[in-house]
Each structure stands twice: as structure tokens, then as C-alpha cells.
Structure 1
Amino acid sequence: MMKKIALIYMGGTFGCVGEPLSPMPAEQFLPRLAQVLPLNLDIECFVAPVIKDSSACTAADWLLLIQYIQKLQQQDFQHFVILHGTDTLSYASAVLARFLTHSAHVILTGSQYPLLNTQGTDTREFSDALDNLNFALAQIHQVNLGVYLAFHHQLIHAATALKQHTTELNAFTGQSALACSGIQPYDEPPLSITAQHIEKAQHFNCLNWMLQPIALSALIQNLKALQQHPPHCLILQSYGTGNMAVNAEVIALIHALQSQQCTVILTTQVTFGAIEQRYAISQWLQDSKIFISNCHSHADLYAKALKMHLQYDSLAQWYAHWHSSV
């Protein structure tokens, strides 16, 4: 006997109507959604704590969603399908994967086109919404414990998901969850979300710099400006396998940021492949004590940085736990 599925609506294009598109109020949308759900599945619909355009979502919104899922788990729900906007769907997926680990069966999905027509009276003639939802619902009792993203008949490990196209139906890529060589689940137990976590996340400042071909003097100028108000995390997206031209002054400025409890992390702007240090220029990594990404994707790096920020207050604690939190 298949267990009940909690279907959680969090907004996004999936629930939009009108011209131009705007979100239909959740209390009006859910009854229409219920009318198209498969009759052979036991599904209960819920409204997420936060309904908004996903481009406006932040860490606190996803922690509220995780907290809501954890409350539903106490009511014996273990299978969850989340409807979420596509703009930050990869980030939401990665954050849920990091925090829920393998404590539940979770699939996130969304759509490039709304479920309903302009008037909101019937399903839209051309839309991927119902197709994506039905695919997610069909997979939720088949997947192992963990978090996944379902889109255009692909089931992707949440930590590896990447939005690859702005308008095509095949909008996401990542490591297939249906392949035999799936990623290993996180070894850490799930983090039970509290009000303190949500409050701290509201102030989380993570800055990402994709390096451009500029002079070292310009990079130095930028780093000096950042010292006035350093973020909690500075992610440097370098070239290739992690290559980045530096000099003694750049390293000194990284040290200065670290002295202000700013975590500086090196990753790559190349979409696929891991960081690999083979060149002599990489000696600077040891001198600078910069963190090196060991994550599955850029969104996963954001999720890891967020979780470390919530768990540890000092840079020394980050150094102690960075490699044990994979």
C-alpha cells in the first residue's frame, strides 16, 4: 500500500494566470490543482509558509519550507513533492538536499508554462506543468531516500541540478538519479530547523564573483573595497580547474578578509568537472588558506556555505569541519 504524498505549493510559473502572468492566490489555485491530480494516488495538498516569485526567494524561505516538511514528518508524511519556481529551483533543491539529507523522499518540480489558462478556468492547452507534476508523482514512491529534481522526464540528484535553458522545456541538467552510479547520500544527519536558524539565515550574505579578464590591479582594488563591508562568504569563480592569477598583495587582502571572519572559497566558473590543481600557480592556495570547493554544483556550494554559516560562528570551526561536510 503506497503512503500518502504531501504536495506542497510554493508559487512560481506553475500557478500563474493572466496576461501578463501573475500568481493566482493559493487558496484559489489549490482546488483547481486538486482537480487534475491522479485518482490512484493518495495526495494531500499544502501551501508552503512562503509563496513568492522564486527569483525573490532567499535562504530563510527555504529553511521555512524545510521546517514545514519536518513538521509534516511528525504527522507520518515521508513522501513530498514540492512545486517551486524555476529561477532558483536548483538552489532550493540543493538547500533541501543539504539540510534534509536522506531523512525523507522529496522531489521538487516546476514548469516553464503555467498549469492554467489565462482566465484560470481550465488547464492551459500548451504547458509542461501537468507533465512535470505527473512525472514527479510517478517517481516519488520509486526513489531512494533523498532529494531530487524532476523536470521534462528527467530525475536529477538535487545537489547536481543546473538550469541550462531559459525557455526550453528541457530546462535542467544534472546527474541522473536513475543511473546506477548515483551520488552518495550525505553522511550527516538532517538539521532540525529552529527559529534561530531562520533568523540567522535572514542575514546571510554570500557574495559570488565570477572572475573576468581584468588586470591584477583592478582585482586588488575590488578586494580593498570589499574590506569595508565584507560578506560572510566570498566565492571566487576562477577559470578552468581552479586557476587564478594572484600576487602577494592579493593573498594579503584575502588574509585581511579572513581576519574579519569572511570565508573565501575558490571554485570554477566552468559548468562541469571538479577543481584540480596541477599548475605551479596553485602554490598560492596553501599560502592564502583559501577554501576549495568540494561540492557537486554551484548551488550545492551555496547550500553548504549556508549550512556551515548556521552551524559554526568562527572561521576556525569552518576549517575544522569543511572536509568532513561533503
Structure 2
Amino acid sequence: MSAAKRILILYTGGTIGMQMSADGLAPASGFEARLRAQQALEEDGDQLPEWRFRELLPLIDSANMTQGHWLAMRAAILAGLDEDDCDSVLVLHGTDTLAYSAAALSFLLLGLPQPVLLTGSMQPAGVDGGDAWPNLFGALRMLQLGQRPGVQVFFDGRLLHGARVGKLRSDAFDAFTVLPRQRHGQRAEQLPATLDHRQPHHAVRLAVQPLYPGLGAEQLRALLDSGVAALLLECYGSGTGPSDNAELLAVLSDAHARGVVLAAISQCPQGHVEFGVYAAGSRLQQTGLVSGGGMTREAALAKLFALLGAGLCQAEVEHWFALDLCGELLD
């Protein structure tokens, strides 16, 4: 946890650098100059670590985030660390999908020895009393103090685990928090070489489906027949579902038999999956579902993306999905 001496700042867009356009606030270039001008006004500006600035073009509103952007962020981070000789990374990101990207980078950068922080803001830089400059310079100061390897989010004065964070509010500066979900499971003793941050990844087709009263087998079949490699099923409570619907259970079993990865998390904000508590959960598990424990939707989706995107087969994905890789399952 040595203090940062040269930081890579990767600007992806988002509210923090937006400026007014004819259609409303939109991502804008030129943020590096604004940042340097503001640093000169900061009380400790001349004491902050040196930094290098990169833009991930095209800049986007994070509502437009895709897996391709996650892969581009990973590539830009690795290139910046190598080419600019940086020892820490700060990613400037929009808030709508910041938790998804933090989780994705947590799994795409497994084994990276340098710390990575993500931050953004609820209001654009330059707004009086806004949170943009406090978040950005607060993140730089955190890196200056020295941070452990891995991905974290810095927001509203707090450091938050990248694979546990979630956005709870859309209209307040303290928009993000670590969700209080029960954490249990087994930690992976050693990561396979295929999951190392240097290994290539590719995009995969994923789906998320919450269970709800009235979900029909034909609806679930249409989703699973659309070519998805994995389905993240958001179950009730501790991992229950409509166990008396034989047709729906058969749809899940058939999909699993042909190689689709089936994973389960709880819909409850403070929930976790424990299939054996209820018979309804046990019957659901028998279709091939693997438990996501107390993982958030963001973490579980990102983990499936990283495992399948690394080229792992169904059995390998299920094995590693159930183990803690970077703190997503265990404190």
C-alpha cells in the first residue's frame, strides 16, 4: 500500500464532465484542462501526486454502458499503467452504471498489483456546492495515502468495495453504499491463469430475469432460447421460486442440459441464497442453478461476464462462480 506517485486518470464521460448542449447535459471533452485549472485552486493542489490523463473515446453517458466499454476500460487501464508508468488508476465514470463497471473491473483485473478507484458525481464539475471536485480530489488524496490492490469506489468521502457497491439514491450525494447482504462461502485458494488480468476476454450474451408471480414458462423459454450463455435468476427470499410449476422447472433444466449457465441471487436488498432452507429452493436448485450467495446483481452479472468471457466452459464457470474471487462473497 505504497503512496501513489503517478496516477492514471481515465475519463470515460458521465455527469462529472458534462456540459450543457441543445438537448441537455451531455459528455464533453476538454476535461483535463478544467481539472488542471481546478487543481491550482485546491489548497493542497501542488502536493498531489503527478497524473496522466486519458480519454476513453467516444465519451458516453454511462446509461449507454456496454460490455464493449468494460473491455475498453480494462485495455486502457493496462495500457496506461504500462506506457505511462503509472502506479495507481482513477476512473471517472457516470453514476448510472458505475456499480456495474466497478464490479466488472473487479473481475477483469484480478491479480492486478495496482489499486483502481472509480468516482463520479451527481452534479457536473463547476456547480456551486456540487460534489464533482470533492469526489475527484478526494479520490486522488486516497490514492496518495496508498491503497490496497483491487477495485474500489470513492464517493461522498467513503471508500466502497468495487464488487459489493450499489447505487441506492438518484438525487443525493451519498448515492452509493456497500449493500448489507449476508456474506458466506469459500474463498478460492488460487486463481487459474485463465482469469488473470492479462488474459484476453470477449463479450458474451447474458440475461437477468427476476421471478414474479405470474411469470410463465413460455416467457422464460423465449429468453433462454434467444442465444444467451447464462441466465441470472433473481429469486425470492433465500432462493425460492415457483416449485409447483413443472413446465417452468423443465425449461430451466433443458437450458442447463444444453450448456446454459444458470445462476441465482436473492431479490431482497439484504438477502442471500441458501437453497436448502425451503423445499421450493431445493427443487429450483435441482434444475442446475448455482448459488450466488449474497452477491449483488451487479457483481453476479459481472462475474458471469468475466468467467464466460475468459472462455471457461459451463462446469468451470459454475465452479468459480460459487467461490469468492475478490471479496464479492466474503468480507
TM range (shorter): 0.7 to 0.9
Letter in 2 for 1:151: F
Matched residue, 2:329: none
| Alpha carbons of structure 1 residues 232 and 97: separation in structure 2 relative to 1, 3 Å | same
CA 321–32 in structure 1, closer or farther in 2 if over 3 Å, else same: closer
The reply to whether residue 300 of structure 1 matches residue 299 of structure 2 is yes
AA in 1 matched with 2:157: H
* 2:68 is equivalent to residue 60 of structure 1: yes
| SS at 1:225 equivalent | helix
For residues 186 and 46 of structure 1, do their structure 2 counterparts lie closer, same or farther at Cα, with a shift above 3 Å needed? farther
| Counterpart residue type for residue 73 of structure 1 | L
* Offset of residue 303 of structure 1: 1.1
Q: Does residue 1:15 correspond to 2:17, yes or no?
A: yes
2:60 counterpart SS class: coil
Asked if 1:101 is matched to 2:110, the reply is: yes
Deviations 1:136-187 (A, max 9, x none): 11111332111100111111010011000011111001169xxxxxxx8995
Aligned-residue offset at 1:275? 1.4
2-structure distance, mates of 1:299, 1:252: 27
Relative distance call for 1:258 and 1:67 in structure 2 (3 A) is same
Question: Residue 320 of structure 1: CA displacement?
Answer: 4.4
Pick one of 131, 135, 144 that aligns with 2:134: 131
Structure 2 counterpart of 1:30, from 32, 39, 53? 32
Q: CA deviation at 1:58?
A: 0.9
RMSD across aligned C-alpha pairs, in angstroms? 2.4
Secondary structure at the aligned position of 1:71 is classed as: helix
Counterpart of 1:236 in structure 2 is: 233
Q: Is the 8 A contact 1:49 1:65 kept in 2?
A: no
1:69 is matched with which residue? 77
Q: Deviations over 1:104-136 (max 9, x none)?
A: 111100000000xxxxxxx22131100111111
Return the match for 1:79 from 82, 88, 96: 88
1:142-221 aligned at under 5 Å gives the runs 142-174=146-178, 188=191, 190-192=196-198, 194=200, 197=201, 200-201=202-203, 204-214=204-214, 218-221=215-218
- Is the CA contact 1:50–1:61 (under 8 Å) kept in the aligned structure 2? no
| TM-aligned CA deviation for residue 50 of structure 1 | 4.4
Q: Helix, strand or coil: the match of 2:75? A: helix
**Equivalent AA in structure 2 for residue 31 of structure 1:** A
Q: 2:220 aligns with which of 223, 233, 239?
A: 223
The one-letter amino acid paired with 2:309 is: L
Report the CA distance between 1:260 and its aligned residue. 3.5
1:325 to partner: Cα distance = 5.8
Question: Aligned residues, how many?
Answer: 302
Return the letter of the residue paired with 1:48.
L
Question: Residue 39 in 1 paired to residue 53 in 2?
Answer: no
Deviation at 1:84, TM superposition (A): 0.3
Counterpart-to-counterpart distance in 2, 1:285 and 1:173? 31
2:42 corresponds to: none
Counterpart secondary structure, 2:32: helix
Question: Is residue 103–residue 302 contact of structure 2 (8 Å, CA) maintained in 1?
Answer: yes
Please name the residue that 1:316 is paired with: 315
* Displaced runs of 4 or more, over 4 A: 184-187
Indicate how the Cα distance of structure 1 residues 52 and 193 shifts in structure 2: closer, same or farther if over 3 A, else same. farther
Q: Give the TM-score taking structure 1 as reference length.
A: 0.85
Q: Partners of 1:171 and 1:321 in 2: how far apart?
A: 31
Which of the pair is proportionally richer in strand?
Answer: 2
Residues 135 and 72 from structure 1, CA distance in 2 versus in 1: closer, same or farther, beyond 3 angstroms? same
1:110 aligns with 2:120: yes
Given that 1:102 and 1:147 are in contact with CA atoms closer than 8 Å, whether structure 2 keeps it comes out as no
TM-score, normalising length: structure 2: 0.84
